[in-house]
Amino acid sequence: MKITKGIDKIIIEQPKDFDVLQTLNCGQIFRFSIDGNSAKVYSMDKCANIYWDSDKIEINTDSVDYFYNFFDLDRDYSQIKKVLSKDKFLSSAVEYGSGIRIINNDAYEIIISFIISANNNIKRIKNSIEYLCRHFGKNMGNYFAFPTLAELKKVSIKQFQEANLGYRAEQMYCTVQRLTEQDIEKLKSAEKDEQYKFLLSLKGVGEKVANCIMLFGLGVKDVFPVDTWINKVYNDLTNSNTTDRKKITQELTARYKDYSGYAQQYFFYYYRDNKISKISR
């Protein structure tokens, strides 16, 4: 896998550790569209146009450095997969999602997005976020930027309800009013425990959402978000029937340690994708 950074594009040749569809479809990002062998991906006010075939991926963007880091291109995933493949629970999931990379997204956008994600389905989450961008974000010409914190501070509870946030509208309003740019900057450089504590203090953020924010927005890899799918996975693998997510989180984090975040994504994608495809997507 050879990566070349140009002035307005990133070229990846023989991309054996990077599958664009898997990376976009494993539930870590909500702002993208796919059209055949191409995709558009958005983060804050930035955009990348991606094209691929079997032996090449081309990422076209004005923000090369941003998307290089966004797709975690400095990291060697073959080593991660080698370690995780030895785990009897994980081997097939790693093989199935072998092109997944964990995205380094904007912390603030991830906080807002994952508050919306609670007890919600991915299609509806995407619709709500798109609504927020269309109504409150900057018009970039071909697309709308994710609304800045200053822009969201002007949005009322009623307007959040119109974005289909349901009962999360009030939580969102509280958190947006409380958050400052400084909070978010401090959060990035804080200790893991401090990050977790702060995130839990936000309305609409519980243990699972806090772990997602750390994994996808703060670059913390040794966390294991447990949602309904991971709950099912755990019960499947251990032949149990629990809904105690705290216990599941503790056991799986202890099992996968520094690789917890990666393990979680392989599990999530493998189980959810197979379940969904049985129904039809």
Report residue 255 as tokens.
Answer: 């099992």
Shortest spacing between CB 82 and DNA, in angstroms: 22
Shortest spacing between CB 112 and DNA, in angstroms: 13
Does 26 contact DNA by CB under 7 A?
yes
**How far apart are alpha carbons 165 and 119 in whole angstroms?**
11
The answer to whether the beta carbons of residues 26 and 97 sit under 8 Å apart is yes
Q: Write the CA distances from 213 to 111, 184, 209, integer angstroms.
A: 6, 12, 6
Of 60 and 259, the one with the shorter C-beta distance to DNA is 259
**How far apart are alpha carbons 265 and 114 in whole angstroms?**
15
Does 122 contact DNA by CB under 7 A?
yes
Q: Which of residues 182-241 bind DNA (CB under 7 A)?
A: 200, 202-210, 212, 225-230, 232
Closest by CA position to 75, among listed 111, 109, 102, 110? 102
Does 255 contact DNA by CB under 7 A?
no
Q: What type of residue sits at position 127? A: N
Q: What's the CA dihedral at 183, 108, 112, 74 to 10 degrees?
A: -140
Number of amino acids touching DNA (CB under 7 A):
44
The residue from 62, 244, 254, 257 that contacts DNA (CB under 7 A) is: 244
Does 28 contact DNA by CB under 7 A?
yes
The site for DNA (CB under 7 A) is made up of 26-28, 117-125, 161, 164, 166-167, 171, 200, 202-210, 212, 225-230, 232, 244, 246, 264-265, 268, 272, 279-281
